[in-house]
Amino acid sequence: MQNKLEKQVLRIMFLGDIVGEPGIAMLEKWAPRLKDEHKIDVVVVNGENSAKNGRGITPDIVKMIKDAGISVITSGNHVWANKKIMESFDGNSILLRPANYPSTCPGRGYAIVNVGGLQLAVVSLQGRVFMHEDLDCPFRTIESLLSFLTPKTNLIFVDFHAEATSEKQAMRYFLDGKVSGVYGSHTHVQTADERILPNGTSYITDIGFSGSLNSALGVDQKIILDRFLHQMPVHFKVEKKGPMVMQGVWAEVDVNTGKSLKIERISFVDEEIAAG
């Protein structure tokens, strides 16, 4: 069934990739404030890098994110990095793995949540270009999934966790008019191309990340430079020095049509937080 209209517009906020302790510290401090400031109804975050070491996610962090008022946690190619997370999937619908992973994997790639009497669907999807090319096709996966979700709600949002800009932009046109929003993640570099597409889908190529501002995508920049200069294996270490940055988007959607009315980027620096 489609939504019963208890309100005319819905506001959703997507916060991008939470990296280690700095990202969690920013989330705990700012998610409730941003929710109040922008009158947000539901918050989604990408949490696949939120573990202390910046790779994967743990059951304790899932609880921390949930306690911060987050309704859904999306993920991507690092979702299995911490083996303890396996126990969280079956009984925890807040945490998603990409929908185009094999059906034999733990968990599922979508969630349907109740937001003030409205049914809203969030899908986690992963790209293949420069990533796991043996995954199921993300385009055919979402096409199949929409045949299940669309009769239930016209409020559908997709986190497309992908490396290549070309793949993300192809997905935006593939889904324009079929979903309310398509928001890219994975690169940790926020793009400035947020827009409402011709058929009413809100889009941005990458929502960015939450972590240390003066880092290499959340990692100690010296380690990354050594990797590029010497081409030797390195052990990544999350940068904990401030200032910290939080990035993402929020969008306003007409609940009658499921079409987006507005999308705005979130990007700001906190000079006070220091993690660890």
Whether the pLDDT of residue 275 is over 70: the answer is no
Number of domains in the chain: 1
Is residue 119 situated within a structural domain? yes
Question: What are the tens digits of pLDDT across the range 101-157?
Answer: 999 999 999 999 999 899 999 999 999 999 977 899 999 999 999 999 999 999 999
Predicted confidence band of residue 268 (pLDDT cuts 50, 70, 90): very high
Task: Give CA–CA dist 225/105, Å, rounded.
Answer: 35
Q: Which two tokens stand for residue 44?
A: 């989604």
Is residue 176 situated within a structural domain? yes
Whether the pLDDT of residue 267 is over 60: the answer is yes
Q: Enter the pTM of the model.
A: 0.93
Position 87 scores a pLDDT of 80
Whether the pLDDT of residue 1 is over 60: the answer is no
Position 72 scores a pLDDT of 97
Is residue 232 situated within a structural domain? no
The closest of 28, 127, 12, 117 to 72, measured between CA atoms, is 12
What average pLDDT does the chain have?
Answer: 92
CB 258 within 8 A of CB 202: no
User: Which one from 38, 78, 161, 235 is the annotated catalytic residue?
Assistant: 78
Position 274 scores a pLDDT of 63
Which helix (H) or strand (E) element contains residue 200?
Answer: none
Is residue 14 situated within a structural domain? yes
161 is annotated as an active-site residue: no
Q: Which residue is associated with the tokens 């999306």? A: 74
Least confident span in 28-37, 90-99, 171-180? 90-99
Is residue 247 situated within a structural domain? yes
Residues 84-118 as b/e (b if ≥16 CB within 10 A, e otherwise) read ebeebbeebebbbbbbbbeeeeebbbbbbbebeeb
Whether the pLDDT of residue 242 is over 70: the answer is yes
Least confident span in 132-136, 180-184, 204-208, 268-272? 132-136
Is residue 223 situated within a structural domain? no
Q: In this structure, what CATH number is given to the domain that contains residue 89?
A: 3.60.21.10
Listed in sequence order, the residues at least 6 apart from 273 whose beta carbon sits closer than 8 Å to its beta carbon are 22, 25, 26, 29, 242, 243, 244
Is residue 207 situated within a structural domain? yes
Is residue 166 situated within a structural domain? yes
* Enclosing domain of residue 76: 9-213+240-270
Question: What are the tens digits of pLDDT across the range 87-104?
Answer: 888 766 799 999 999 999
Task: Give CA–CA dist 188/211, Å, rounded.
Answer: 10
Whether the pLDDT of residue 185 is over 90: the answer is yes
